Structures are given as structure tokens and as C-alpha cells.
Copies of this chain bind each other. A is one copy, B any other.
Amino acid sequence: MKRKVTLKQIAKELDVSISTVSKSLRNSLEIGEETRLKVQAFAKFYNYKPNNIALSLKNRKTKTIGIIIPEIVHYFFSTVINGIEQVANENGYSVIICLSDDSFDKEVRNMEMLANGSIDGFIMSLSKETQLKGDFHHITEVINQGMPVVMFDRVTSEILCDKVIIDDKSAAYEAVQSLIDKGRKKIALVTTVDYVSVGKLRTDGYTKALLDNGLPFNENLIIKIEDVDTCEVIIGQLLEDKAIDAVFAVNELFAVTSIKAANKMGLNVPNDLAVIAFTDGIISKYSTPTITTVSQSGKKMGNKAAKMLIERLELEHEDDEEEEENYKTEVIETHLVERESTN
């Protein structure tokens, strides 16, 4: 798609200031008739269309950032919010948070509500339902209105905007590799049934690590948990059958439940079962034994997302032009926090 001509390009072409172009297009009498007509003719020729909504939004800065997250009883999202708050406050921005409850409708409703003059831009993580539906019209609309959006963690390639992610595939790969390095050969992946983008990437990383190390890939060791209570039963059965010597869990709850299953059978963690969890939250830090985790650095992610959004907001402000190009995707480094559940 060819980009439409901008104020900046018209200004450059005619060797006048952007402000002169802008005023001429509004037919301001501050600008001499000759220049005015020349600018107008040029703009018409190149089919220039001012983005009126965007312009009006730009003139009415709220200095407020809107955050849309899927759920709140979730340590990772809480830490991301703290990271956003920190950078926002340092830069004189306030923060408003809305929850989608992993519902598409609620995500749409909340975005429409906030976009209606309450905020300057969004930082968001997609709801499960939105990812399943693949319907992102509400986000496109907001961006078309000239409101910048930064996505984090649960993102989509369907939307062009700034993004902050971790490399879920590499992170999972590293975690599984560390289990293999410790001599584990029968590693279960305990994951969720829903199809959030990150889930797939983690499964890919798990699989690749096994194959790269010449270990057999056994589909029965990929356990998709719908209800956390079934987790204990399934892990218990696998331990009974001596089918596993390690668990890589996509969240802390599955990890701590796997440990419980092992304890109930009189097995020792980490000796009989090594456990690594994705996301370094409070459960892992305070459980017995403490759990080795992949730290997602939620705070860093929040810091970065806020920086990207604010930079774009201030850029727009100075420039009076849309800069919807040069979108960046920042990858935040993860690292393994080694604790008692591996050895």
C-alpha cells in the first residue's frame, strides 16, 4: 500500500514550513494568498486527506495511558503494570487500567470507552477470546484514529504497532535444555488447552530442545490441563508409571501441583522429579521446595512498553505528523532463576 502524502512531504516539496502547510489547508488568512492556493492545489493533486480525528486528538492531550489486560489475579500482569506505572509517572503520565477478563466483547467495550477522550494511547495484552476469534477491528480503529497502541506478551502479527515480547520459544528451549543438562530424559510439558499465542511458542521450544538433544519426542508427555485439579491426578499417574523424571510447567500453579503429586507418593523433588515453571511469581519463591523458574521480567516489559508509547506520543506532538511506520518489536531477555526444585 502506497503511503498517502503527508504535511511534511508537502512542506518539503514547496520549501515552506509544516505550519504554513497546515494553516494554508485550513485556509488561514495568516498565509498569503499565493502560498495558500499553491499548497491547496498541491495537496489536492496528491490527494492529501487530513486525519481530522487524529488532529483533534493530538490537540487534546490527556497525559494519560490506558492499559488493557486480560486478568488481574495474575502476578505477571501485576508486575507489568508496576513497570508501566514507574516510567509513566517519571514522565508525568497517569495510568488507567481496564480488564478484558479474557473476553473479546469486554476488550472492545473498554477500548472504545477509553479511546473516547480519556487517554492518549494504549498498552495492551490481548484477551484469549480475541486471539481465538482473530478479530482485531477495534485495535485497527483506534490506531486509525491516530492513537498509538503498544502490545505486550500476547500480541498478534495482524496488527502493525509497537510490541514488547519475550522470546517464548527460546525461553522454553533454554529451560528444557537445562533439565537435559542435568541428566533428565523423560520431560513432561504441562501446558494449557487454550490457544494463546505464547502457549504454542513454548511447546515449539520444548519440542526443539528434545529433538536437538536426540531425545525421543513423546506426544503423551505433552499434558494439556483444563482444570488444575486434574493436573495432580495426571502427574501422579505418570510418576506411578515411571514415565517422567522432570516437569516443565507453563505456569506456577501447574508446577506446584506437580510437586504436590510427587510429595504424595513419597517422591523427592528434585531427586525423583525436577520441576521448572514459567513465570517467576510469589508461589515459586515461597513454596517448599522453592521452584526454579523462567523469569519473564514483567517489570522490564512494562518499563519498555511505557517508554515506547511515550516516545511515540511525544514524537507525534512535536511533529504533527503520523509516524505509523518504523514500528518496533522489542524482545525482553528472560533468564532462569535456579532454586531448589532442580539440581
The 6 A-B residue pairs with the shortest CB-CB distance in the complex, in nearest-first order: A288-B288, A97-B97, A73-B78, A256-B286, A72-B78, A118-B118
A residues lining the B interface (CB < 8 Å): 62, 64, 72-73, 75, 78-79, 81-82, 85, 89, 94-99, 101, 106, 109-110, 113-114, 118, 253, 256, 263, 282-283, 286-288
Kindly state the separation between the CA atoms of A109 and B85 in the bound complex, as whole angstroms: 14
**Interface SS majority for chain A:** helix
Measured CB to CB, the nearest residue on chain B to A75 is: B73
A301 to chain B: closest CB distance in Å? Answer: 14
Kindly list chain B residues whose C-beta atoms are within 8 Å of the C-beta of A283.
Answer: 282-283, 286
Kindly list chain B residues whose C-beta atoms are within 8 Å of the C-beta of A98.
Answer: 94-97
Kindly list chain B residues whose C-beta atoms are within 8 Å of the C-beta of A82.
Answer: 72-73
Kindly state the separation between the CA atoms of A256 and B289 in the bound complex, as whole angstroms: 13
Kindly list chain B residues whose C-beta atoms are within 8 Å of the C-beta of A256.
Answer: 286
Kindly state the separation between the CA atoms of A298 and B308 in the bound complex, as whole angstroms: 35
Kindly state the separation between the CA atoms of A75 and B96 in the bound complex, as whole angstroms: 19
Measured CB to CB, the nearest residue on chain B to A103 is: B89
A137 to chain B: closest CB distance in Å? Answer: 19
Measured CB to CB, the nearest residue on chain B to A73 is: B78
Kindly list chain B residues whose C-beta atoms are within 8 Å of the C-beta of A286.
Answer: 253, 256, 283, 287
Kindly state the separation between the CA atoms of A75 and B85 in the bound complex, as whole angstroms: 19
Q: A96-B97, A282-B282, A287-B288 are in contact. List 8 more A-B contacts (CB 8 A).
A: A72-B82, A73-B75, A73-B78, A94-B113, A96-B114, A97-B99, A283-B283, A287-B287
